[in-house]
């Protein structure tokens, strides 16, 4: 497929033609107005004489192409986002001058205007292949090069890139052809940066604008002093100033931890972290200059879970400086070499080098639950995924690549031993410095260090999809001494592979002194095959609860023995260890969504846990899956009654929580999502919080909480669009505009849903973040009556969305416009029909639609299961 997509075969063919060393000289003129910028790219590269290849470029206009001194006609050589290069020499120079377009979708060079002060902020985002939106480039990871950037920008702007700035030339307010700057009264400068080390194009970066800035330095382990900086919008300067020293400190702890753990000091010239608006991802590991979404600059109170996630994100991107940047995958099938390692290492670093000591419980509740969800869809894939083209790559930034991969790495550490694992990593980093590597390269180093054959392990864990289930079988004598303990492993029929597991079985009992449930014994063992006897358990006293996968060492579904299951449901809130609670809760949630544990039992267990849970991410996910259970999995005939009951319990818990606590804050936020039309008690509580007539001690109604209340009132049609506009006018900021769009889309009227649908699909002036708010609110609050008309509309629109939107916008729309509140039977029928009729659709589109439809199948199945039971919560 030619054009914006790139196949693996094409990339391999181009790699066989294009040879290094390769050097880029990229000049960007950012003074051409609010829509476009001028890009000039000169590339020096080797090639097989007489061969042909192509450059990647997405541009409005190509002004000129000069290859080896010869002018080429752009009309002849530029088509389908490619520039054809024929009759290449052994050494070549090509210069491409083009007019490129700023994006408002977070792809390429994004341009954001802050309504609070009118400031313009630019930042680049190039992963997977969006450097081509900014300059002509061989945009694939294994064609590494040295990059030289120069940028023309307004005099007052800060301009940053991967390398330190080495010169700034005053151009006296004009560009080379006399075009004035965007601000006519302001001068213009040309900034030059030093040459980069050899690197992949997707890791290059440019940021420009009147960012606020802070600076410090780090005494690197190799004796160098590494300059460090942080940047954010001026509107967030005061909020950022409160956290700058803390974030610098976290980053420095990461430098030290990674250098010590891997034996390789930080390799680059500087380290900037720039917090940018309207960002699609959490952050991006551009070499020497990480971009991070500026929702991580906290103007209002946030959950401890989000505060911890910010730390993990900072450390995740820092880990990429080694995994992904210093050593890069050859092709996107080894994306996990980047993401799984960064996710694993950032969690390890967070747990061992920061104050967030329960980071592995956070990982279990948050990241691992994401993996388990996606791994049970037909769209699952091996961790080392087959990637045939770029569109396949996009959809693999998922729970398999990140969370399952990280969990399997934790298992690998247990399998080969921590010291040997990191010895192998040290050899891997040193052997492939500034180059590309594959899974085979990594395994060779780990095998050499550990002495263990990892070929079979890799095939089962990394190259096969799906998840196993380990269940516990136990028998005891009359004295309650264990006579047999077996672990039974099963696999799904469509991914029938049994894996080796290094794990532990924990024995848990009540501590009489505290009343807590604590671990009193543990057995470590290797499990392989269908059934494994735990010989070391025979003769020991049966505990109140048996936890297979104690310490969460492996990646598997769990099924407890009958007595342990009953004990967990009654006593989960009493378990002393945060990680044990997270592992048990995740197993209970998995059973619930599989239709094996009644929704009633999961709801009562979770409500009891929420009264005492101290780990913020577990608390957050418990609230989220409680909501899913209540609104989608419960008995349909009693759903409204159950939802009202749970809402009442959440309000009671919020009122009883410690004033100002994270639990109180999260409980109120969860309660706000339970409103229904005509619920006078809900309206009174929320309206009271909004106008101050209802007070929860310690709850601060700051900017974001105020907008959460507005959203909740709009969702029960108490807040009008006019009132929302009045609230926005009081403080018109980037964030509040997004909140306002979401509130309007959340209103429970047919007119509001029609408006939201139209805005999401057809208002091209919406930024990516505004569109996301509209789409999520459209489907997030709809009743079945309002959602049903959009079942047919959704499937009619899916192909149009894919053809007419950029990938990230299509991903948002196809995911968030799915009318989940509609009758699941209607969604299943329409979805299955669409899939049957579109077997030839692009695989990435099919995967997104399939995931939605299969979740509707699950919803119908689980709801039917619970409808067949006695579901009175007061019994």
pLDDT value of residue 3:
52
In percent, the amount of the chain with pLDDT more than 90 equals 94
DSSP calls for 467-529: --EEEEEEEE-TT-BEEEEEEEEE--GGG-----EEEEEEEEEE-TTT--EEEEEEEEEEE-S
Rounded average pLDDT over 756-765: 97
pLDDT value of residue 393:
87
Does the structure show a pLDDT above 90 at 394?
Answer: no
Sheet holding 531-533: strands in order across?
531-533, 482-490, 469-476, 557-559
pLDDT value of residue 386:
84
pLDDT value of residue 673:
96
Specify the fold of 211-322. Neutral Protease; domain 2 (1.10.390)
Does the structure show a pLDDT above 60 at 187?
Answer: yes
Superfamily of domain 1-209: tricorn interacting facor f3 domain (2.60.40.1730)
pLDDT value of residue 391:
83
pLDDT value of residue 782:
75
In percent, the amount of the chain with pLDDT more than 70 equals 97
317 has catalytic annotation: yes
Rounded average pLDDT over 344-369: 96
CATH code assigned to 469-554+556-597: 2.60.40
Q: Can you tell me the distance from the alpha carbon of 678 to that of 22, in angstroms, rounded to the nearest whole number?
A: 66
pLDDT value of residue 1:
29
Q: Can you tell me the distance from the alpha carbon of 37 to that of 25, in angstroms, rounded to the nearest whole number?
A: 16
pLDDT value of residue 180:
43
Tokens of 527: 């499990």
Q: Which residues pair with 190 in a beta bridge?
A: 152, 169
CA count, 13 A, side-chain hemisphere, 571: 21
SS3 269: coil
Does the structure show a pLDDT above 80 at 174?
Answer: no
pLDDT value of residue 385:
83
Q: Give the model confidence (pLDDT) of 582-617 as tens digits.
A: 999 999 999 999 999 999 999 999 999 999 999 999
- The full set of domain ranges for the chain reads 1-209, 211-322, 330-461, 469-554+556-597, 753-875
Q: Can you tell me the distance from the alpha carbon of 571 to that of 182, in angstroms, rounded to the nearest whole number?
A: 64
Rounded average pLDDT over 442-452: 94
Neighbours of 732 (CB within 10 A): 12
Specify the fold of 330-461. Neutral Protease; domain 2 (1.10.390)
Q: Mean of the per-residue pLDDT values for the chain?
A: 95
Rounded average pLDDT over 118-138: 97
Is 761 in contact with 814 (CB distance < 8 Å)? no
Q: Give the model confidence (pLDDT) of 648-688 as tens digits.
A: 999 999 999 999 999 999 999 999 999 998 899 999 999 99
Asked if 211-322 and 469-554+556-597 have one fold, the answer is no
Is 391 in contact with 535 (CB distance < 8 Å)? no
Q: Give the model confidence (pLDDT) of 515-526 as tens digits.
A: 999 999 999 999
Q: Which of 107, 278, 285, 317 is catalytic?
A: 317
Does the structure show a pLDDT above 60 at 463?
Answer: yes
Does the structure show a pLDDT above 90 at 873?
Answer: no
Q: Give the model confidence (pLDDT) of 469-521 as tens digits.
A: 999 999 999 999 999 999 999 999 999 999 999 999 999 999 999 999 999 99
Q: Give the model confidence (pLDDT) of 293-352 as tens digits.
A: 999 999 999 999 999 999 999 999 999 999 999 999 999 999 988 999 999 999 999 999
Q: Give the model confidence (pLDDT) of 18-71 as tens digits.
A: 999 999 999 999 999 999 999 999 999 999 999 999 999 999 999 999 999 999
Site of tokens 């990059």: 147
pLDDT value of residue 874:
58
């Amino acid at each position: 497929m030619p054009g914006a997509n790139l196949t693996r075969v094409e990339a391999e063919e181009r790699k066989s033609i294009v040879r290094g060393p390769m050097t880029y000289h990229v000049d960007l003129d950012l003074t051409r107005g609010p829509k476009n910028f001028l890009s000039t790219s000169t590339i020096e590269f080797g090639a097989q004489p007489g061969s042909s290849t192509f450059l990647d470029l997405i541009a409005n206009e190509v002004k000129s192409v000069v290859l080896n001194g010869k002018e080429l006609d752009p009309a002849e050589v530029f088509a389908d986002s490619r520039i054809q290069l024929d009759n290449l020499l052994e050494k070549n120079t090509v210069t491409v001058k083009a007019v490129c377009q700023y994006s408002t979708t977070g792809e390429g060079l994004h341009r954001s205007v802050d309504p609070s002060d009118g400031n313009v902020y630019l930042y680049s985002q190039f992963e997977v292949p969006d450097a081509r939106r900014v300059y002509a480039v061989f945009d694939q990871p294994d064609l590494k090069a040295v990059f030289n950037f120069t940028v023309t920008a307004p005099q007052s702007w800060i301009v940053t890139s991967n390398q330190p700035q080495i010169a700034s030339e005053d151009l006296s307010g004009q560009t080379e052809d006399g075009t004035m700057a965007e601000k006519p009264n302001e001068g213009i400068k040309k900034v030059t940066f030093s040459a980069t080390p050899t690197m992949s194009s997707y890791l290059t970066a440019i940021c420009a604008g009147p960012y606020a800035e802070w600076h410090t330095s780090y005494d690197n382990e190799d004796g160098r002093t590494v300059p460090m900086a942080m940047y954010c919008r001026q509107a967030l300067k005061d909020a950022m100033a409160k956290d700058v020293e803390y974030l610098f400190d976290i980053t420095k702890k990461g430098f030290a931890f990674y250098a010590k753990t891997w034996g390789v000091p930080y390799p680059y010239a500087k380290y900037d972290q720039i917090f940018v608006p309207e960002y699609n991802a959490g952050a991006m590991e551009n070499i020497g200059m990480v971009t991070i979404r500026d929702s991580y600059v906290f103007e209002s109170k946030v959950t401890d879970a989000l505060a911890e996630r910010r730390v993990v994100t900072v450390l995740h991107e820092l880990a990429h400086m080694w995994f992904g940047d210093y050593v890069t995958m050859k092709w996107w099938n080894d994306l996990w070499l980047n993401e799984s390692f960064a996710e694993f290492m950032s969690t390890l670093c967070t747990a061992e080098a920061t104050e967030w000591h329960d980071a592995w419980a956070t990982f279990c509740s948050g990241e691992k639950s994401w993996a388990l969800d996606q791994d049970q869809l037909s769209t699952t894939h091996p961790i080392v995924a087959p990637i045939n083209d770029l569109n396949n790559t996009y959809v693999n930034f998922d729970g398999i690549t990140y969370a399952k991969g990280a969990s399997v790495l934790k298992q690998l550490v247990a399998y080969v031993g921590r010291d040997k694992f990191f010895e192998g990593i040290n050899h891997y980093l040193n052997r492939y410095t500034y180059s590309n590597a594959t899974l085979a390269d990594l395994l060779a180093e780990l095998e050499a260090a550990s002495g263990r054959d990892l070929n079979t392990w890799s095939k089962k864990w990394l190259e096969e999809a799906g998840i196993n289930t380990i269940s516990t079988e136990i028998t005891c004598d009359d004295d309650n001494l264990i006579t047999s303990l077996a672990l039974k492993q099963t696999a799904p029929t469509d991914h029938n592979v049994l894996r080796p597991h290094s794990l532990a079985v924990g024995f848990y009992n009540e501590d009489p002194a505290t009343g807590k449930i604590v671990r009193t014994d543990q057995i470590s063992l290797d499990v392989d095959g269908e059934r494994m006897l735990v010989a070391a358990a025979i003769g020991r006293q049966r505990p109140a609860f048996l936890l297979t996968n104690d310490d969460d060492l492996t990646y598997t579904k769990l099924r407890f023995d009958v007595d342990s299951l009953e004990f967990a449901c009654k006593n989960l809130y009493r378990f002393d260890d945060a990680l044990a609670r997270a592992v048990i809760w995740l197993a209970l949630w998995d059973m619930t969504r599989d239709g094996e544990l009644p929704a009633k039992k999961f709801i009562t267990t979770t409500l009891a846990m929420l009264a005492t849970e101290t780990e913020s991410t577990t608390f957050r996910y418990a609230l989220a899956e409680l909501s899913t259970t209540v609104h989608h999995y419960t008995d349909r005939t009693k759903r409204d009654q159950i939802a009202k009951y749970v809402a009442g319990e959440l309000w009671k818990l919020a009122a009883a929580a410690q004033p100002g606590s994270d639990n109180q804050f999260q409980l109120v936020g969860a309660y706000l999502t339970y409103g229904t039309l005509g619920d006078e008690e809900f309206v009174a509580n929320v309206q009271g919080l909004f106008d101050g007539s209802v007070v929860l001690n310690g709850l601060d109604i700051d900017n974001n909480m105020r907008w959460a209340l507005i959203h909740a009132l709009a969702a029960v049609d108490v807040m009008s669009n006019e009132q929302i506009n009045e609230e926005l006018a009081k403080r018109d900021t980037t964030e509040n505009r997004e909140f306002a769009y979401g509130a309007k889309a959340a209103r429970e009227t047919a007119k509001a849903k029609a408006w939201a649908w139209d805005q999401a699909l057809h208002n091209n002036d919406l930024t990516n973040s505004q569109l996301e708010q509209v789409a999520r609110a459209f489907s997030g609050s709809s009743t079945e009556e309002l959602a049903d008309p959009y079942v047919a509309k959704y499937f009619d629109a899916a192909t149009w969305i894919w053809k007419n939107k950029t990938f990230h916008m299509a991903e948002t729309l196809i995911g968030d416009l799915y009318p989940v509140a509609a009758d699941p039977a209607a969604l299943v029928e329409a979805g299955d029909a669409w899939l049957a009729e579109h077997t030839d659709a692009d695989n990435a589109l099919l995967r997104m639609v399939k995931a939605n439809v299969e979740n509707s199948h699950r919803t119908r199945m689980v709801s039917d299961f619970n409808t067949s039971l006695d579901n009175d919560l007061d019994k």
